Structure 1
């Protein structure tokens, strides 16, 4: 299953100062985290996101967001 076939966001809890590498190519076998699959696809390098505060990130699981890789609620629009 593709990262974007989920149809709704992945919820990722991060702590202040923590860095996560988020998939933007859609081919990771461990979504929403990068596993290096982008090397075989030209569709996107990972985003290294460093949290400024402890929070829960909403990572796109539908592929329709206008703010990749963050969810913008596009999965709710028809």
Structure 2
């Protein structure tokens, strides 16, 4: 598997909607960050599905180095 590309040096703050499905980009290539647009094809990466349990503001990882995917764990600071 190839190393992910850094999409952002900061997390993406997203207002998610309860019951809605989201597909977090794990490769860093998507033009629709932090979500997948299919740009990973052929990279060995796959998007990570996430279903919002409630409507709230969440911090999605932008650096693609998080250990708590799809959420930011502060890895961009290291």
TM-score (norm 1): 0.80
* 1:37 match: secondary structure: coil
5+ long unaligned stretches in structure 1: none
From the two aligned structures, give the one with the greater helix fraction: 1
TM-score (norm 2): 0.80
CA RMSD after TM alignment = 1.9
* 2:6 match: secondary structure: helix
* 1:58 match: secondary structure: strand
Aligned ranges 1:1-78 → 2 under 5 Å:
4-42=6-44, 44-76=45-77, 78=78
Q: Distance in 2 between matches of 1:15 and 1:3?
A: 27
5+ long unaligned stretches in structure 2: none
Instruction: Count the aligned residue pairs.
Output: 75
